[in-house]
Structure 1
Amino acid sequence: MVSMSTLPADARLRNFISNGDPDTDPFQGHSAESNIEIPEEICDLAVDYYGKRLAVATPSAVLVYQIAAAGSASGDILSKIATGTDDATLLARLESPDIAGPLQQIGWCDPSQGSMIVACGQCGSVVVYRETSPRGFSLAWKEKIEGAATSVQFGPKEFGMLSIAVGSTSGLVTIFDNSGGSLARTGVLKAHLNGVSSLSWSTPISPATLASGPAVQSGYLMPANAPRRLVTAGSDCNVKVWRYHSEDKKWVEECALPGGDGIVAEDTTPAEHRGPLPDGGAERPEGPPALPSHDACVRAVAWRPNVGIPSNFLASGAEDGSCKIWVQEMEGQPWRKASEIRHDTPVYRAHWSVTGLCLCLSIGDEAVCIYKQSASGEWLRVDGTQSIED
């Protein structure tokens, strides 16, 4: 099953406040009116599109901080929150009686769709908070899914509607779409045995369109939207790619990325071995692939933003310290493992930069590693001196 343990409290932040003295009360010197709240335990955090606000998920609430004044650099977020400067203040504390267990993950919506935060909890609740004033948020939507929620993410705005994907310990991924004026459940993917640990939406721009297609052939740089796709990871050691068929209004498992150095076809499972789930559920092959994607539970997966090349890239990280880079040269072609990064501690989070040029990994021992692909295709660590094995 997917472990529900939370991330440790930010020791650096609390150490900063206490000036390094373990016997000092971290909150000493901060009055009740100081507008500062330091979380005892951090489950997840997310920065908004502009890098100006930080949402921190604690076991029982979401804390929203203003971390930079308009037009200024964010700087050291930890010290600004700790000292309570004008450009690092607590804007809101968001709590919902519908969430009985610890929060697991949070995320910001694209600002073009509104200023909203989505959060999911161990009790299976999913909530959306909408900003209603410069310093105020209110509960805008709530829903309950089967199992404990482990991962949640807003869909890309380019798909034309507000969408949310939620993974859970039940092994299901639930899709909510705002196609009729309100968010409603439109799809259920039976994704992974023993639980879903991570998910990520695909890039909204079709890589194939960048190289050919009506937009390029007509001479206009107006790339068409790609099909809606998701990548999911689970405790069954697998990474799977899903595609939405708009004609049938169903999600279909496109492929499961294989272990070893093999190449997987898009979807070769015979139709008689597929089984649909009700209410827009995904058709799926029966059973796992011959070789799992990783040799251990996969904790993180991230779809690389499109950077103007006709290729798709994925990054997946596992408890054994491996992070694999997967590539699909063109839509319709098979996925293959392009590189593998090895660490001595588990990989818990994976994030791409906005341009897709850098990959950030959160690993054990409270370490963060940043990698960048060289001109030769090698992934190099840019926050230190370590390079990786291809």
Structure 2
Amino acid sequence: MSLYFSAIAVLVGAILYGLSLTTLYWLEDELNRRTLVQTSPMAINAFRAGAESPLQLNTNIKAYNDLNAIPQQDQFIKQLPLGFIDELHDTFTDDLFVLRSEYQQEGETKPLIIIMNAAQVELSNQEWRNINITILAVTFLLFILFGFAISKLIRRLVSPVRQLSDQLKLVQAPSEFKVSSGAALEFSELAASLNQYQRQIDKLIKQEQAFSRYASHELRTPLTVIQGAGRLLQQQGNEAFKIRQRDRIVNAANDMQHTIDALLSLVRHEDEHYSEQQRVLTQAELSKVIRYVQPLADSKAVVIDVDIQAEPLITPSEAVLRMLLINLLSNAINASEGGEIELKVNQEAIWVVDHGRGLTRNERDQQGHGLGLLIVDALCQRYQWKFSLQDTEPGCIAMLHFPHA
């Protein structure tokens, strides 16, 4: 790019140089031609008044109305056509400006020749050299200024691209893409867009990892129950024992089905949240969720208090809502050492309030919400809900806010 713009600068300089000289040459000759034209009326009046040829009009201009009076060295002027006015260049004489015309005197046509010595009215060779040097100096100065402007332009255009390219080539991607402070606004916006995309990619990668680990954990647990209950059924036992094992298998299979339904809702590509029908969130549905986490709560001596102020209309299926609430309640129970957890529901949101240790540093800095809460984030985005965590003293409030409430 530097060579390209340098070539343009040289071409522009050469054009300016040639144009300047051409204009000066034309201007000099045009002024001399106009001088001859303006002098001709004065010569005609003088000849009509009886002046003899040659007539000295000033120190370097002579007028003739008799072709025989023209000096021998200038006899070639007789061959010039009528109306000629221009500069003549001859090797053996000085350059001359000549006007060839005619006028009327007492009914007779008289020739009119006006000759001006070009050497006395044109710029000298030394003056032309000075003009050339001046033009070259100005052109060179413009070239330097143009080069400086190009270097600044290249720095603003190419340098940020190189910086971003180098950062993209790094084996370990930078935490944030940056460009120099002097870069154009568009490159700062490009770096901001790259940072935004990188954050989205990191979030998606974390969600994918969380999905894999969570799915592995949630599906292995009922499978382990089913396998264990199946082996127990192979052993001898009374009918009540076998019924309990069959119930464990059925419950584990139901749990697995709920988990699969909820996780599959995350990986559906079609945008279904507008077409899905809303349904009423009932107290019976919440009771099923409470029963599922009750053993964990009992092991931590935690009491779950349910406050249903209204039964809102929601879009997520029972399996999805079950996974959301189980994650929030399980995190609240694990963060508590005894005490009480409140589950509140109204027309606007669902709250899970605990009085445990509060948010961790990563959770407070929004760098991550833990394995289960990443799934909660993804499910809320799927159904256009808003999920938030708020640290309290002591404890934490997790809220699921419904859209268009």
TM-score where L is the length of structure 2 = 0.22
Which has the bigger relative contact order, CA under 8 A and spacing at least 6? Answer: 2
TM-score where L is the length of structure 1 = 0.22
Question: 1 or 2, which has the higher strand percentage?
Answer: 1
User: If you compute each CA radius of gyration, which structure gives the higher value, 1 or 2?
Assistant: 2
Question: 1 or 2, which has the higher helix percentage?
Answer: 2
